[in-house]
Chain A
Amino acid sequence: MSSNDTLQAHSDSHPPSPDSKGGGPYILLFFFIGVALSLVVGWGVFPKLLYSQKNQPFDFNHKNHLEMVDNGCQSCHFFRADGSFSGSPRLAQCVECHEEMQGQSEDEAIFVEEYVSKGQEVPWLVYARQPDCVFFSHSAHVNGAKMDCITCHGHIGTSESLKTYEFNRITGYSRDIWGRSISGLKSNSWDRMKMDDCAECHAKYDAVHDSSVQTKRDACFVCHK
């Protein structure tokens, strides 16, 4: 290096980097550290931070109940006379059998003591609650399109306990809407229930779903009234 070069370098406002020569491998290393850290954050830490967990008031065994009723899921999750869907059972329905303790489980005790005897509705946390902007009719899907519950809700009917309810801290919606997988990928039809997932099925049956003249598929207002 000539003295002229040195002078020029020093006159630059940025001091020369000490490892300007031969720093290559480290730079690459830091690059990969950056990649690795962000992958860990993005795939591991982020979902943990994004979702908050809440426990249901007490546990519930769907499998057990399903074995005892005659009319499958609709025994408790039924359609009202006007065709609207009842959703989670109200206390009055449960009381038909649970007026007295049924069995010795701790959850049964909580249910009877905290809710049945006080006449208080159970504040169930609903995994599949869609946003307010979505108009969803169970009747159109179950009675009209003859779909079964599993297509959207999975095998919850044979589950022995309730999973922990998780909700998005930013949006407040249940985690089941986006799906368990933070990547948004799914392997079963019930894994997530965002708009694209509804649209996938509506598009597949476009012969019957053609309310939009332009797209020959369902128009926005079918769900967004």
Chain B
Amino acid sequence: MKLSRRCFLSLSIGGTVGTALTPLPWKLTDDMSIWSQNWPWTPVPPDGAYTYINSTCTLCPGHCGIRVRKVDDRAVKIEGQEGTPLNQGGGLCPLGLSGLQLLYGPRRIQGPLKRDGERGKGQWKPISWQQAIDEVSRKLADIRSQGKPQSLACLTDSDTGTVPQLFKRFLNAYGSPNFFRMPSVEDAYESVLSLTQGVDGFAGLDLYNADFILSFGSALLDGYGAPPRVMQAISRLKEQNGTLVQVEHRLSNTAAKANVWLAAKPGTEADLALSMAYVIIAQQKYDTDFIGTHTEGFEAFVRMVQERFDPQKVAAYCGVEADVIVRTALAFATAQKPLAVYGKGKGQTAGSLREALAVHALNALVGNINRVGGVQAIPAYDYLQWPAVMTDETAAAGLQTQRLDRARSPEFPHAQAIVHRLFETVNASPGEVQALFVAEANPCYSLPGSANVQEAFDKIPYVVSFSSYMDETAMQADLILPNHVYLERYEDVPVRSGTTRPMIGLCQPVVAPQLNTRHVGDSVILIAKALKGAVAESFPWADYESCLQEALGDQWDAISDQGFWAAAESAPASLDNGFGTPSGKFTLMDETIGAVYQVGEPSAAGDASEYPLLLMPYDSIRLTSRYVGGTPFMLKTVADTVLKGQDGFVDLNPETAAHIGLGEGQAVRLSTPVGEARVRVHLDDGVMPGIVSIPRGLGHTAQGPFLAGKGVNVNRLIAPVEDPASGLDAALGIRAKLTKA
């Protein structure tokens, strides 16, 4: 026998056939696939002991309870905290869920920074905390010694809780009345409650127990109030066959899920509300008991609506037919627990006081003031019982000066702060503000007319930012004293949004500070101590934590264990003594309110012949335009008809687009009286003809590579429209035009 090539071939064919009859190839295939899953460079999160920490999310005013899962020292997941009084289902919005990207993401500021080069160029020199505190206090002592303490202004996100109050206290001790909080729908509600009910507090909207919700443009399903709670309330309304009516110029998510969508023209909503009041009065469907016993000014109110708000007249210009107005008004008035809701979008703007009053009047007509399922006036939180501020002569003199925005003056008695006026004042007379503190706010991005705000920043000699992130405002600062992010710090956050039950959430450290940052409360206390004298004496606390513990007193143990403190469930304030007005009654109409109704809505800036369209911003739960900015995760959830690559889109009715000769996806130049931008067009039948609809929350110029340069910041294109009644930004849109790029 000779071995030949064919023998080998035969042997190997036999081998192949034989191998196929053994488990070898199948087993090896399986093993190889498992092996490839276990390559050492494949990231596998290290295992460890699991723990959960209850805290409170501070990324929006909703202040939902959160439960953070940790593996050893790492936070790995944020979930809603089930079973808290205001968040039974434990839901959470996309921003809250992706908060870990704000903790571990790359755009955080590593430690104190001092500007090293031209403003806004992003050149920084790291300094020590001691140097940073010395520097601020030296500068402030300087301004004070010139006798101009009032030229220090401060802007924070809110004015409740120990952190904003520490800033306010600092300004008082230093001698400046110029403490500002960012605008929100709270501004309008505060004015309304003060005018009609004489209450210093906030409006608790009992969405959860209402059976008919009439919403004037509130993004109930897109982030209004506290998103999980409001969404649960709307789900419940649907389950119980309740009715949701959405008044909005655009087919938003809320409008799409509503039983009735009323597309009123922007700026006519107040008139629409008052024409509904006309119907309710004319058909005698109002709550005679409440109106008769607990209100004043009803006759004057009736005269006013009868004179000017006949549905036939209003229908002619508001875009909703008269019989629809009548039908909706009657359905509202005959519902068991009707509730009219005010606040455009997520409620990040104050809006028109006239509209807020008209909506509140609807609630009064159906008698659901201080009732379950209605609007309950909740008194302001009063748990901060600090010793009086020490004021020396300089401070006393400074505090005598008028606020730069003239809020709380006879001119604008009900406004707490009018932020756009601060920056207008700076632009008009630059010397008025020598130094500005900005904490938990990003005015250079978030305020309408942000180009003007930026210009004002250029004129403020000394800007200190306490931001944790390199945002648009921090970029304009001279000094950055970075705060811990919310998962690293203690803070009390009184809840005001979407609740009828007073509750203080406690934000507590989930992980140790990851970077060389410091609690903003500690920074304020240290700066005060460095200033010595009465300013230092006004801050008797060793550090922020002891200040917080003292503020919460006996509640501290319970609140730090549970993560929140909630007032006991109680009946709404009684109607007999629930009103702080001189007459003890709900004021439907008096001289002041009459004057507000008398003045028309401020019209959007711009000449209609040059700018034939109206640019209106809209809010989405997938985006945020507040201080923290969005997360990379959120941007991934945005449709490519909103953001595609770097291109931002505007929504346009096909009819309007055809008129200008634009097609889907086409690039256009969007111009307004204050700015212009290149955008692309998305055609949408749900947008009212003549309106250009643009999302808030895109177009960052800072905040790192995940957010910067994507889409357009609508605030660069619009300007504040001052409400003559309140001085606040009425936040209508702005006239605009589109030209082919």
Interface residues of A (CB under 8 A from B): 17-19, 23, 26-28, 30-39, 41-43, 46, 50, 131-133, 168, 170-173, 178, 182-184
Contact = CB atoms under 8 A, between A and B. Distances in A.
B5 A17 contact: yes
Nearest to B7: A30
Given A17-B4, A17-B5, A39 B21 contact: yes
A199 to B, nearest CB: 15
Interface of B: 1-2, 4-8, 10-19, 21-24, 26-28, 30-32, 34-35, 37-38, 44
A126 to B, nearest CB: 14
28 contacts: A17-B4, A19-B4, A26-B4, A27-B6, A30-B10, A31-B13, A33-B14, A34-B14, A34-B15, A34-B17, A36-B14, A37-B18, A38-B17, A38-B18, A38-B19, A38-B22, A39-B21, A41-B19, A41-B22, A42-B24, A43-B22, A46-B27, A131-B37, A132-B44, A168-B31, A170-B32, A171-B34, A184-B27
Contacts of A30: 7-8, 10-11, 14
Contacts of B18: 34-39, 42
A93 B511 CA distance: 33
A173 B17 CA distance: 29
A23 B27 CA distance: 36
A132 B12 CA distance: 40
Contacts of A170: 28, 31-32, 34-35
B564 to A, nearest CB: 24
Given A38-B17, A43-B23, A131-B34, 15 more contacts: A19-B6, A23-B7, A27-B7, A28-B10, A30-B7, A33-B14, A34-B11, A34-B13, A35-B14, A38-B22, A46-B27, A170-B32, A170-B35, A173-B34, A178-B27
Contacts of A23: 4, 6-7
A18 B26 contact: no
B34 A39 contact: no
Contacts of B30: 178
Interface-centre pick from B5, B6, B8, B14 (highest chain A CB count, 10 A)? B14
A85 to B, nearest CB: 14
Contacts of A43: 22-23
Contact of B12 (A34, A50, A168): A34
Given A31-B11, A31-B14, A171 B31 contact: yes
Nearest first, the 3 A-B pairs at minimum CB distance are A42-B22, A34-B14, A38-B18
Given A42-B24, A184-B23, A26 B13 contact: no
A171 B35 contact: yes
A182 B27 CA distance: 8
A143 B514 CA distance: 42
A42 B6 contact: no
B2 A39 contact: no
Nearest to A44: B22
Contact of A46 (B5, B16, B24): B24
B495 to A, nearest CB: 31
Given A26-B1, A27-B6, A46 B14 contact: no
Contacts of B11: 30-31, 33-34
Contacts of B31: 50, 168, 170-171
A221 B94 CA distance: 21
Given A19-B4, A170-B31, A170-B32, A38 B23 contact: no
Given A43-B23, A50-B27, A32 B14 contact: yes
A182 to B, nearest CB: 5
A183 B30 CA distance: 12
A33 B9 CA distance: 12
A173 to B, nearest CB: 7
A183 B8 CA distance: 28
Given A17-B4, A17-B6, A172 B17 contact: no
Nearest to B45: A132
B10 A171 contact: no
Contacts of A133: 37
A38 B28 CA distance: 15
A35 B21 CA distance: 9
Given A37-B15, A38-B14, A178-B27, A26 B32 contact: no
A165 B705 CA distance: 51
A78 B190 CA distance: 59
A34 B35 contact: no
B19 A42 contact: yes
Contacts of A131: 34, 37
A184 B22 contact: no
Nearest to A182: B23
Contacts of B1: 26
A18 B4 contact: yes
Contacts of A32: 14
Contacts of B12: 34
Nearest to A39: B18
A27 B10 contact: yes
A19 B2 CA distance: 8
Given A23-B6, A172-B38, A35 B27 contact: no
A38 B15 contact: yes
Nearest to B15: A34
Given A31-B11, A32-B14, A34-B11, A46 B4 contact: no
A26 B724 CA distance: 107
Contacts of B7: 23, 26-27, 30
Nearest to A32: B14
Nearest to A28: B10
Contact of A184 (B26, B35, B37, B38): B26
A171 B34 CA distance: 6
Nearest to B44: A132
A32 to B, nearest CB: 6
Contacts of B17: 31, 34-35, 38
A50 B26 CA distance: 13
Nearest to A36: B18
B2 A18 contact: yes
Interface-centre pick from A34, A170, A182 (highest chain B CB count, 10 A)? A34
Contacts of B14: 30-38
Contacts of B35: 170-171
A23 B7 CA distance: 9
A42 B10 contact: no
B38 to A, nearest CB: 7
A171 B38 contact: yes
B642 to A, nearest CB: 29
Contacts of A173: 34
B560 to A, nearest CB: 23
A197 to B, nearest CB: 13
A214 B702 CA distance: 44
B689 to A, nearest CB: 40
Contact of A42 (B8, B21, B32): B21
Nearest to B26: A184
A61 B10 CA distance: 52
Contacts of A26: 1, 4, 7
A96 B12 CA distance: 62
Contacts of A41: 19, 22, 24
Contacts of B16: 34, 38
B22 A39 contact: yes
